Amino acid sequence: MNLQNLAYAIDQSIHNLGAVSVTGGAILALLSGVARRKLAWIVLSGWAVQGMTGALFGVLSYAFYGHLPDIAGIAVDALVIKMACAASGFFLAAFYLRQARTENMNFWRIEALLAIAALTAASFLRWFS
């Protein structure tokens, strides 16, 4: 078994679970009244996982190749969008949890839009890199 492929596969699996947490948590909160505060913690954690595993992709590339991934053009734009969504979603969730305002439907709409934008950008990043 190739250690490099295993490392990337594990990182990708965890990254995907973070995306499910963010997207699923936000959409579930919009569609039902189920424990929105708990869902906000799941969304916050999902964004944190997205950020950490996204950074780990770069670390793994540097460790195995001696340089960061070679991306350009649309792939760079998509990466910037993903990073902006993750940072915005994380800080928004932290703010709303601190303010105890997780019943605010605009919060959940924004979180869902950020999650969908990040997933869409991920497709462009994957396809154009």
- The pLDDT tens digits for 71-98 are 899 999 999 999 999 999 999 999 999 9
Is the model's pLDDT at 102 over the cut of 80?
no
Find how far residue 115's CA is from the centre of its chain: 7
SS3 state at 53: helix
Instruction: Tell me, yes or no, if the pTM score tops 0.85.
Output: yes
- CB neighbour class for 86 (10 Å; exposed up to 12, middle 13-18, buried from 19): buried
